[in-house]
Amino acid sequence: MSENKTSLASTRLITIMLKSIKPSKMYMGKLSHGSDLLEEITDLCIEKNIKLGRVEGIGAVQKARIGYYNQAVREYQYIELDHALEITKLIGNISLKDKAPFVHAHITLSDKKGNAFGGHLAQGTLIYACEIMLQSFEGPELTRSYDEVTGLPLWL
């Protein structure tokens, strides 16, 4: 079996990047009604000097804008949901991009019929009510840079 792994590994480039980090501080709280969800989380990261971390949240939005990365054309495509939705899951990470805290988050939302919508959290998602947990970590910085293979700003 290790022969197959060796021969398979020799035919393709395998790149794994892991860094050791330690939990630091945890913040829990409620975000502002009517504010942009992504902007509010980003502002908190700047205020608390979080350059390495994670975010989770639940709640509801007045409307949402979520993205899907179209791999064929290498660009985000966005959908606008102009109605009330529940946040069934918000999860993401915080790292650096252009020397500033950058929040990369995905969100799953549901409507009154239980239909689910999910994707990349984008500006234009307005908070109705949202409770978050924001955790910072200590360790080496993770900085996003343009990745030639995917066209995305990834940790390099």
Pairwise CA distance, residues 17 & 2, whole Å: 22
Domain at 22-155: CATH code: 3.30.1330.80
Give bridge partners of residue 85 from the DSSP assignment.
61
- The residues spanned by each domain of the chain are 22-155
Q: What three-state secondary structure class fits 120? A: strand
What is the pLDDT at residue 14? 64
What is the pLDDT at residue 13? 63
Pairwise CA distance, residues 105 & 40, whole Å: 13
What is the pLDDT at residue 1? 36
Q: What is the mean pLDDT of each run of 10 residues along the chain (156 residues)?
A: 41 76 97 98 98 98 98 97 98 97 98 98 98 97 95 92
Give bridge partners of residue 142 from the DSSP assignment.
none
Pairwise CA distance, residues 95 & 53, whole Å: 7
Joined together, the tokens standing for residue 42 give: 């980003």
DSSP β-ladder status, 153-155 and 143-146: antiparallel
